[in-house]
Amino acid sequence: MQVNVVYSIGVRCYTEIILKRLQLVKFSSIFGNLNIRNYENVIKCIDTNFDILLNPNNVVFTKNIPTMEVENKRYGYRTLHKLFDNIYDYHSSTIAHHDLNNPLHIKHFERGIQRFNHIKDNHIPILFVNISIEYEFNNTGDVSNVIESLKKYGFKNIKIISIYKTSKKMVEPTLLHMDDDHISYEMYSYGYDDIRDDVVIKNILLTHFKFDHLLSITDFNI
């Protein structure tokens, strides 16, 4: 399958970091800097056109929480989500790298939604990538609800690949599932963002997809 866009759908920011190192991601995705945790939260975002994620009634700003002053100074201001996070735990933040009290950060997400919709409206072939590690989320299960959500949203030329990083020793990654919409692999991992995993991930992707004509940020007038 020829793919024109590679798009992270979590579970954390390391998925997009890995894909950028592999030169497969040319612009930021909405989920790229999120700790979205699981497919259920991805579906909730898509089904509400991301209103559930960005609605001011659903978020709390760590800059306004005196007990998080130390973490704010060390890591920066974060946005906690009332429906996705433990709002008393700075490190549980879904929106860990953006302060939605900052208009520039809100603009970042608005542009991301515009790009997301541009891909959908123009039926651009897109590969959604989810990478997880065993102590966070097992992403090898059924993704039919995610596919249904994306298709209901308006996407047509889509594929999802799930890569599950495990400490289980194996010489080669194991293909767990493959159908018209979804491919799933399990692989031995050195760590959630260990560069030694990159070659294995790249080989998995090149087994199934071609990336000769990837769109970059300059292809969007946004």
Q: What is the 3-state secondary structure (H, E, C) of the chain?
A: CECCEEEECCCCHHHHHHHHHCCCCCCCCCCCCCCCCCHHHHHHHHHCCCHHHHCHHHEEEHHHCHHHHHHHHHHCCCEEECCCCCCCCHHHCCECCCCCCCHHHHHHHHHHHHHHHHHHHCCCCEEEEEEEECCCCCCCCCCHHHHHHHHHHCCCCEEEEEEEEECCCCCCCEEEEECCCEEEEEEECCCCCCHHHHHHHHHHHHHHCECCCCCCHHHCCC
Supply the pTM of this predicted model: 0.96
- Mean pLDDT computed over every residue of the chain: 96
**What tens digit of pLDDT does each residue of 190-206 get?**
988 899 999 999 999 99
**What tens digit of pLDDT does each residue of 75-95 get?**
999 999 999 999 999 999 999
| Rounded mean pLDDT, 7-30 | 96
| Rounded mean pLDDT, 11-29 | 95
- Per-domain boundaries in the chain: 5-219
pLDDT reported for residue 192: 80
pLDDT reported for residue 191: 87
Residue 102: band (very low, low, confident or very high) from pLDDT cuts 50, 70, 90: very high
Whether the per-residue pLDDT at 221 is higher than 90: the answer is no
Whether the per-residue pLDDT at 222 is higher than 80: the answer is no
**What tens digit of pLDDT does each residue of 117-171 get?**
999 999 999 999 999 999 999 999 999 999 999 999 999 999 999 999 999 999 9
Give percent above pLDDT 90 in the chain. 96
Residue 100: band (very low, low, confident or very high) from pLDDT cuts 50, 70, 90: very high
